[in-house]
Amino acid sequence: MQSTRDKSTAVEALYCQHSGPLLLFALAFTGDRSQAQDLVHEVFLRLLEGKNLDHVVDAKAYLFACVRNAVLNDTKVRRRDVPLNHEYAWFEPPNRDYAAELSLRRALAALSNDQRQVIVLHVWGELTFSQIANVLGISSNTAASRYRYALAKLRETLCVQEDRCANP
């Protein structure tokens, strides 16, 4: 069994010897140098954190296979990421009021993350407080109280804005 120091030295030697070709290999897949570097570094970090390489017959081939797998996994993850259009409304009212929508977005952004999550899950996700509790890992009473506090803050923020607009 290798000591941690021996393992780090072995991984460092592998990095010095093979990181250049591994980076070029990853770059051929990704087309993005920083992404390729991240993936190669991820492979070596996993080696440092994982088992020793005693079971590996051909370290060079093993490293290329690891980088290939890292690229494929990263590609799958990135394919799932769909950029959201910031101009897209969360809801489409029949007579769209852009000023009110902007006010609501600002008021939601002013809430704490905990309260905003509960509001979004309950109002737009249409989840019950029990379901929200399961998603967030909290009790349903906590979810309900965060919802109540968030509504109170939204009411206060939006009513103050309306009063300011009505009484300049």
Could you tell me if 56 and 28 lie in one domain? Answer: yes
pLDDT value at position 25?
85
Query: Which domain, by its residues, includes 60?
Result: 4-80
Over 70: is that where the pLDDT of 89 sits? no
Domain membership of residue 62 (yes or no) is yes
Q: Enter the tokens of residue 80.
A: 């799932």
Could you tell me if 76 and 103 lie in one domain? Answer: no
CA pair distance 124, 113, nearest whole angstrom: 16
**Which residue has better confidence, 92 or 40?**
40
- Number of domains into which the chain is organized: 2
- The amino acid sitting at 28 is A
Could you tell me if 114 and 75 lie in one domain? Answer: no
Measuring CA to CA, which residue among 168, 113, 124 is closest to residue 146?
A: 113
Q: Show which of 80, 108, 130 is a domain's final residue.
A: 80
Q: How confident is the model at residue 115 (pLDDT cuts 50, 70, 90)?
A: very high
Identity of the highest mean pLDDT range in 6-20, 45-59, 79-93: 6-20
pTM: predicted TM-score of the whole model, two decimal places: 0.48
CA pair distance 8, 41, nearest whole angstrom: 14
Sequence-distant (6+) residues with CB within 8 A of 151 are 119
Measuring CA to CA, which residue among 83, 60, 63, 82 is closest to residue 71?
A: 63
**Which residue has better confidence, 153 or 168?**
153
Could you tell me if 55 and 15 lie in one domain? Answer: yes
Residue 158 belongs to domain with CATH number: 1.10.10.10
CA pair distance 47, 116, nearest whole angstrom: 39
Alpha carbons within 13 angstroms on the beta-carbon side of residue 17 total 11
Q: How confident is the model at residue 51 (pLDDT cuts 50, 70, 90)?
A: low
